[in-house]
Structure 1
Amino acid sequence: MGNKYFRPRRSFDFSPHPYDLGILTGLKQGFEDNHFLSKLWSLPRQEYDAYYRRHLDYFLETSLGNAQEFFRYVWLIVRNRIKHYEDQDPHVSTHGKYMHRTERLRLFQHYLRSIDQWNTDKTKDEIIAAKEEEIKILNEQLTAIKQQLKAARKLETEDYINIPDGYRNTVLDLHLQLQEIKLPNGKELMLSQTQSVWMKMICKYFREGDKEINFETIRRYFPGDKREPGDKHSPIPVKSKLFKVSPVKKRR
């Protein structure tokens, strides 16, 4: 049976793709695995995925097989070649070369494990144990999330602060004034990184005439940059400025 797994180099192609397999005259039948593995001796680890994908794409384009079949085939030739090198006499002159190749194959095998969707190298018991551990971790995460949700709900309320109809902007003005209050040392009494926190607080906890306050409607009163508010900004109407927040006079 001819090669169906690996993309061969075209015969007498003087500018072949670096991942294609074979020599000038093409890919010799029966030596596909040797050519595939020999590329790994010098291939950088960061190119493993591109190398693997190029041959996987060829296999899927030219055969009726699927990704699992291709993965299993590559896994087996890598595993078998590692075993072959490990079985060699460690006292022969080629031992150093075999050690280097085994190391490169193990690096590629590590990559293969990272993309293995089918638990190719695991026994049934190992798969079950891994799934049980995964379920245990998910249950622990679920318990933690439930506790966080319970703690967060302690601060939730269905009640709200109601503003009489027509006085929404008066409340907005008070919140804007609160942002300008400074302590005796010159620092802001209430500091926020953005204006959205004020708008969200108002929309969440206040109502006007028992109706929700629209976030987009009040956005124009809270510019992101107060020094350059932009054309979309609108000042609070003078008629709505009914109160003034100011520090108390120091007692003598």
Structure 2
Amino acid sequence: MGLWHSHDDNHFLLKIYRMEEKEFPNFYSYHLEYAKFNNLTSEEDFFRHVWQTVQTRIRHIEIQDPFSRNHAMHRQQLEKLQQFQKYLNSIDEWNARPSHIVIAEKDELIQNQKIEIEKLNTKLAELNEYEVSLKVLIDDGHLPTFIDVIQQLRELQLPSGRKLLKSDHKIPYAKMIAKYFSHGGKDIPIETARNYFVDKKGDVTIKGTSIQPEHRLFKVIPIDPAKK
């Protein structure tokens, strides 16, 4: 069957009415290969022929009497044809459908893209509103000292025994330092900050950058409630 003989279109459409959407690609490919093998048409012309056949039947069903006893059947057929036509639209690599349909689709796509761009621009503006323009300056040569204080804060415990600060990972501290602080008037690379937050074996850093004793200038300790 190649859609070229009398009533072939009816047979083709009847198959579609009984078909699941997932079967559309194989069904279409089967008839396309048949047409190509028998030198009946080109791939583009085959697409045009099938699309027009489906479109003609859709129009025919749409003008049927909604009060006829076949109305329920017509509705089911129309839904299936529209599903198949949607599949055809997705494989139209030649823009072979009527130009007004292709243009309308492209206009809709452009409009949707404009809306999406506006949403992204709005979101970007909101993010930029909270972006850091001026960073807190760490005195030159005392980056390790500052990080030592941060590391102490990480270990502080509340009277309940729970930690004051909780994080399953150490990278948030490195990101915070790189984003909100500068050292000696220069930005702090994220990798530089990250190197201070590495695994330890006891008090010894396994890898990364360790803080030397001469940079440990402060000690953060909790207040004894009895001495308040």
The TM-score, its normalising length taken from structure 2, stands at: 0.66
User: Does 2:199 match 1:240?
Assistant: no
User: Does 2:127 match 1:127?
Assistant: no
Is the 2:153–2:220 contact (alpha carbons within 8 Å) kept by the matching residues of 1? Answer: yes
2:164 counterpart (169, 189, 213): 189
Counterpart residue type for residue 41 of structure 1: Y
1:201 counterpart (155, 176, 192): 176
Q: Does the C-alpha gap of structure 1 residues 64 and 77 become closer, same or farther in structure 2, counting only changes over 3 Å?
A: closer
Is the 2:135–2:182 contact (alpha carbons within 8 Å) kept by the matching residues of 1? Answer: no
Give structure 2 stretches of 5+ with no counterpart. Answer: none
Matched residue, 1:223: 198
Aligned residue pairs total 221
Q: Does the C-alpha gap of structure 1 residues 163 and 101 become closer, same or farther in structure 2, counting only changes over 3 Å?
A: same
Q: Distance in 2 between matches of 1:121 and 1:133?
A: 17
For residues 7-86 of structure 1, what are the structure 2 equivalents within 5 Å?
A: 22=1, 30=5, 33-34=9-10, 36-52=12-28, 66=44, 70-84=46-60
Q: Does the C-alpha gap of structure 1 residues 93 and 201 become closer, same or farther in structure 2, counting only changes over 3 Å?
A: closer
Matched residue, 2:140: 164
Q: Distance in 2 between matches of 1:90 and 1:135?
A: 35
CA-CA distance at 1:74 after TM superposition: 2.1
Is the 1:119–1:127 contact (alpha carbons within 8 Å) kept by the matching residues of 2? Answer: no
Q: Distance in 1 between matches of 2:187 and 2:30?
A: 57
User: Does 2:138 match 1:153?
Assistant: no
Q: Does the C-alpha gap of structure 1 residues 123 and 175 become closer, same or farther in structure 2, counting only changes over 3 Å?
A: same
The TM-score, its normalising length taken from structure 1, stands at: 0.61
Give structure 1 stretches of 5+ with no counterpart. Answer: 1-21
Is the 1:160–1:207 contact (alpha carbons within 8 Å) kept by the matching residues of 2? Answer: yes
More helix by percentage: 2
Q: Distance in 2 between matches of 1:57 and 1:64?
A: 10
Is the 1:194–1:224 contact (alpha carbons within 8 Å) kept by the matching residues of 2? Answer: no
User: Secondary structure of the residue that 2:138 maps to in structure 1?
Assistant: strand
Matched residue, 2:148: 173
Is the 2:48–2:96 contact (alpha carbons within 8 Å) kept by the matching residues of 1? Answer: no
CA-CA distance at 1:206 after TM superposition: 2.5
CA-CA distance at 1:133 after TM superposition: 9.4
Q: 1:138-169: per-residue Cα shift (whole Å, max 9, x none)?
A: 3585277347515633552134413322x222
Q: Does the C-alpha gap of structure 1 residues 146 and 101 become closer, same or farther in structure 2, counting only changes over 3 Å?
A: closer
CA-CA distance at 1:237 after TM superposition: 3.3
Q: 1:24-69: per-residue Cα shift (whole Å, max 9, x none)?
A: xxx6852654554343233211232454466668889986654xx5
